[in-house]
Chains A and B, each alone.
Chain A
Amino acid sequence: MTAEASRGASAPPELVQLLTPEGERVEHPDYDIDLTDEEVRSLYRDLVLVRRIDLEAVALQRQGELGIWASLLGQEAAQIGSGRALTDADMAFPTYREHGVAWCRDVDPVKLLGLFRGVNHGGWDPEEHNFHLYTIVIGSQTLHAVGYAMGIQRDDANAATIAYFGDGATSQGDVNESFIWASVFNAPIVFFCQNNQWAISEPLEKQTRIPLYRRASGFGFPGIRVDGNDVFACLAVTRKALEAARTGQGPTLIEAFTYRMGAHTTTDDPTRYRVASELEAWKLKDPIERVRSYLFKNEHADQAFFDSVDAEADQLGADLRRRCLAMPDPEPLDIFDHVYREPHALIDQERAQFAAYLEGFAQ
């Protein structure tokens, strides 16, 4: 890897930004956005609550209540910004880290824990929230999102899909195939890549020699890089891309340039592969702090507001903890449920045999 090439992947980003890390509002010729004070406060609340859900889940994992957790620390703005850009009719296809998007889709946070606690593989009804199930296999969901978008086309519906994935996922065949499909069929889809710089221990340079958003042009659709720690910019850019998709202008690739401040998952040890100074530098770009200072500086919110959000977060955390602990183990025979929709002789046979076996202990 040459120095030049490695700079290509992580070059100082040409990105859309509407709110600086210092909390200064800046203008952008193509992507400006009008937000009422109320809307900004609401985004702030989302960011804080989602971070709290995440912190609580990390703590629950540490205490052995969850097997593993994939933290979104640092990626709140990318998720809330894009998630709040969706309309009810749009469909989101997440990875395993989209807790903030799930929040925007009204998925009860305790349901996110089921997968990580091991009581189910993802227990919400995707259609109820227009938020699909978490996908563990890297990149798979991007194709589902395109197929769903092709369905929207056939239904002539005023909707779009959004597919979430990471920088590592851009190396997968499925993601590249999904770009081809989306382009060839002009599907109403937004590809939302959260470039958090790392795929477990592998830095971006192991996935690409060019900035990721530029990949799109090779597939024949626009790509854009946005400051992933700027909730305003993420909202504005995603809203525009979704609108383009809904109005027949085809796909857009958004690269949200952000940073994974925590470990990849609770089983990961980032001290083995990344330097502390990198994290320190990104802490200065914290997605929540900048909205807070914007609100504060411009007197769009007072201390009482911040206190009330913090209090709400405390309560949400405590509530999540309580409900996590109350989540019971499934029944043994649940193993056989939902494998098929229609009766299946082998499943019935094995269920009956296992039930009889368990009965033996009861006597």
Chain B
Amino acid sequence: MTILSLSKALNEGMRKAMEDDPKVLIMGEDVGKLGGVFRVTDGLQKDFGEDRVIDTPLAESGIIGTAIGLALRGYRPVCEIQFDGFVFPAADQIITQLAKMPMRSLGAIKLPVVVRIPCGGGIGAVEHHSESPEAYFTHTAGLRVVACSNPADAYTMIQQAIRSDDPVIFFEPKRRYWEKADIDTSSTDWWPPLHAAKVVRPGSDATLLAYGPMVKTCLEAAKAAEDDGRSLEVVDLRSLNPLDEPVVMDSVRRTGRVVVVHEAPVNSGFGAELAARITEQCFYNLESPVLRVGGFSTPYPPSRLEEHYLPDLDRVLDAVDRALGY
């Protein structure tokens, strides 16, 4: 067992993937000598060389577009987008090319490209550095969209994403980069599949559905609720596309009440997708409407206001109260 922070777990996972497969490449802005602005690729260029850890020009469309070309040539590029708000210049290549090209070829080609995006707020950053753009990508067929929430998952999921023959959008909760956990790096026995959701805390009164940075918030909320005699179940979705519906619906059927929590604006967010699916499949099991807690329908605010924008324990528990009040 080794104690690793989430960022180091990603680093170790990528290192392992690069050792296992010489076709794996890392590319992005500042990923080489600097090791990325969050140091997630720290030391990889030193050990694998500039041909495998590629410092690119500063152009996101170029990063994804050339990664597609490298993948067509048999490589497995792992692209780093420096911050969530800067994925939009690459959106065209991701949506019109990366997601659709394999289907365009009737399956003749594969594009094993991973797009890593540090996402979410809570680090006091300036504009465009705290966003949660996942819904843009879950809406795009042809992409797999996953979000890790803790070091152990980060370590396994990044390796699984790199091994996948489909393009994967990989969200990393930037405010959790420094959190640590014990990880068994010697065995793969404990690895759940990339698209498996996990019940990370069992409970019986209501289900909290979360992913990425909000999983920890929900666990804390569940712990606080326990003191009030409430038993909350927390499900870490881990994968948004595809969604592990059996695990989600099973939890909903047991508790009958659901609160979805994410940082992205509630309006047209991924929570809307969850609410609709749950309503379709568990209508008669529900004791209350599916409630959503998330960002407002505003741009991400200046950092002095972000504590109000981001869901916290109180907002989660307030929603739980409402759910239980029906």
Binding site for B on A (CB under 8 A): 120-128, 132-133, 135, 137, 140, 142-152, 154-155, 161, 173-174, 177-178, 180-181, 184, 337-342, 344-347, 349
Contact = CB atoms under 8 A, between A and B. Distances in A.
Interface residues of B, number: 47
B97 interface: yes
B108 A341 contact: no
B65 interface: yes
Nearest to B141: A339
14 contacts: A125-B108, A135-B97, A144-B97, A146-B65, A148-B72, A150-B69, A154-B51, A155-B74, A173-B89, A180-B62, A181-B59, A345-B242, A347-B242, A349-B245
Q: Chain A interface secondary structure, helix, strand, loop or mixed?
A: helix
Interface of B: 51, 56-57, 59, 61-62, 64-75, 77, 89, 92-93, 96-97, 100-110, 141-142, 144, 164-166, 195, 241-245
A174 B93 contact: yes
A151 B69 contact: yes
A342 B68 contact: no
B61 A126 contact: no
A271 B102 CA distance: 39
Nearest to B69: A147
B105 A126 contact: yes
B69 A339 contact: no
A120 B108 CA distance: 13
Contacts of A150: 66, 69-70, 73
Nearest to B277: A346
Contact of B66 (A125, A126, A181): A181
Contact of B61 (A135, A151, A161, A177): A177
A6 B78 CA distance: 44
B164 A338 contact: no
Given A132-B72, A341-B166, A345-B244, 6 more contacts: A147-B68, A147-B73, A149-B69, A151-B74, A181-B66, A338-B107
Contact of B57 (A149, A154, A184, A338): A184
Nearest to B112: A341
Contacts of A144: 65-66, 68-69, 72, 97
Contacts of B97: 135, 137, 140, 144
Given A140-B65, A143-B69, A180-B59, A125 B142 contact: no
Given A140-B96, A144-B68, A342-B166, A177 B244 contact: no
Given A151-B72, A155-B73, A133 B59 contact: no
